[in-house]
Each structure stands twice: as structure tokens, then as C-alpha cells.
A and B are shown apart, each in its own frame.
Chain A
Amino acid sequence: EAQVTQNPRYLITVTGKKLTVTCSQNMNHEYMSWYRQDPGLGLRQIYYSMNVEVTDKGDVPEGYKVSRKEKRNFPLILESPSPNQTSLYFCASSSITNGGTGELFFGEGSRLTVL
């Protein structure tokens, strides 16, 4: 089954405790991206990757890091989480071969609370 898998799905942590949210896709997609979704602000892009070892900032990258060492994985790292990073996070992937259809496939989301 084609899917994007995120872990953990739910996490409560404390300020300053480093955490990683993993994302893996099995569709051989070149493009992967992280979004956060907050009430009244909608979906905002954090980081994206066009392919292995190619990453770039989205609209709200502060406080986050990513890496793309393998095509299927795109982890999101919060080095020192703060309460304003409490949010619902989505990983997404898409094919860019031949221009791609533009459809983004999303993971089920990771709800993060930073106390």
C-alpha cells in the first residue's frame, strides 16, 4: 500500500528536549516536505526536499532542521523545542518525474505539545 508514515503520532515533551519526528514514504517520490498546521494560520511549509541531499527552507523554518540522506526518509528535527512549536505536523511527498501531477500525499500527522 502506497503511504507516508510519520512517527510519533502524538508526543508531549518539555522545552529544550531535542526530538525527531520521522517520515518515510514507499512511493519512490523525489519531493518531500514538512508542514505545520495551526488554527487560523492553515498549512505552512517548514522545509522541503527536491531529492536526496537537497533540502531548502520553506516559509517557517526557524527552530527546525531536516535531512535527506535516503530517498524514502525525511526526518524533522527540533533541536530545542519551545512552546510555540506546539502544533500538528504533516509530512508530504510527491512525484516530480515528468513534471508530476502535483498531488501531495500526506502522512497521518504528528500532534506535538511542548510544555
Chain B
Amino acid sequence: RKEVEQDPGPFNVPEGATVAFNCTYSNSASQSFFWYRQDCRKEPKLLMSVYSSGNEDGRFTAQLNRASQYISLLIRDSKLSDSATYLCVVSASPRFNAGNNRKLIWGLGTSLAVNP
């Protein structure tokens, strides 16, 4: 079993749709979780961190389910500009400390295409 697994998609949705991605992780000791966004052939950029209580940023909502070991990303009212690959990232370390690499485990990403 991969350490971090995502449905690769592609998810093809019309503008205005709501779409949700899940990401499962295998290490129950994982402490921190992130969603990064990567546009085609460009660098990944942090979309949002995922907190235990769940968090929302505009049209984006992230949830963490520790019992089932998955995180989710919900995008409401999809825009054409949301088309990208969404990378799930998990770490067993809560934060960086001196000498701690804070190893990040990257999923392969879920591809989203929002169509007009």
C-alpha cells in the first residue's frame, strides 16, 4: 500500500459544480497535512493546510478524518481557473525543528479539469 494515495482522475466537471477529492494515508502517526496545487508544468503551491477541526478558505474546505486516515478537499462553485492537479501531502512531524527534515510524503495528485 502506498503511503499516500489519491485518485488520479481526471475529474471533469462543469463550471459551478462542487467537486471533492479524497486522499488516504497509511501512517497512523501522521501529524500534519496539506493540499498543494500544481498547474501543468509549473511548481506546486500551497493551497491550504488541513487542521484537525477542518478549515475553510473561500470556496475551499479541507477536512481530516483520523479514524479512517484520510483527508478531503471540497471545491464549491468551480471556476475554470481551478483546473490543476491537487497534491496531497502528509508528514509524521508536526513541524520543523533543528535537525528534523520533517519528511513530507507526496501523493501523485488528482487532476481536475473545469469545463465551460
Q: Say whether B45 contacts A109, CB under 8 Å.
A: no
Q: Say whether B32 contacts A42, CB under 8 Å.
A: no
**In the complex with contacts A96-B96, A107-B43, A108-B43, A102-B102 CB distance below 8 A:** yes
- In the bound complex, residues from chain A placing their C-beta under 8 Å from that of B96 are 31, 94-96, 99-100, 102
Cβ-based interface call for A84 (8 A): no
Cβ-based interface call for B114 (8 A): no
The total of interchain contacts (Cβ-Cβ below 8 angstroms) comes to: 59
One of A45, A99, A106 near B95 (C-beta < 8 A)? A99
Q: Restricting to A59-99, which residues have a CB under 8 Å from any CB of B?
A: 88, 90, 94-96, 99
User: What is the 8 Å Cβ interface bit string for chain B, positions 24-67, against chain A (1 contact, 0 not)?
Assistant: 00000000101010000111111001000000000000000000
Q: Say whether A102 contacts B45, CB under 8 Å.
A: no
One of A43, A44, A50, A101 near B98 (C-beta < 8 A)? A50
One of A40, A41, A56, A109 near B101 (C-beta < 8 A)? A56
Q: Say whether A102 contacts B107, CB under 8 Å.
A: no
Distance to closest chain B CB from A110 (angstroms): 11
Cβ-based interface call for A48 (8 A): yes
- In the bound complex, residues from chain B placing their C-beta under 8 Å from that of A50 are 98-101
Distance to closest chain A CB from B47 (angstroms): 10
Size category of the B interface is 20 to 34
Cβ-based interface call for A103 (8 A): yes
**In the complex with contacts A50-B98, A102-B96, A42-B106 CB distance below 8 A:** yes
Q: How far is the CA of A99 from the CA of B97 in the complex (A)?
A: 6
Interface size on A, residues (CB 8 A): 27
Cβ-based interface call for B75 (8 A): no
Q: Say whether B42 contacts A42, CB under 8 Å.
A: no
Q: Say whether A48 contacts B42, CB under 8 Å.
A: no
> Footprint of A on B, CB under 8 Å?
32, 34, 36, 41-46, 49, 87, 91, 94-104, 106-109
6 A-B pairs with the lowest CB-CB distances in the bound complex, closest first: A99-B95, A96-B96, A106-B43, A100-B96, A43-B106, A42-B108
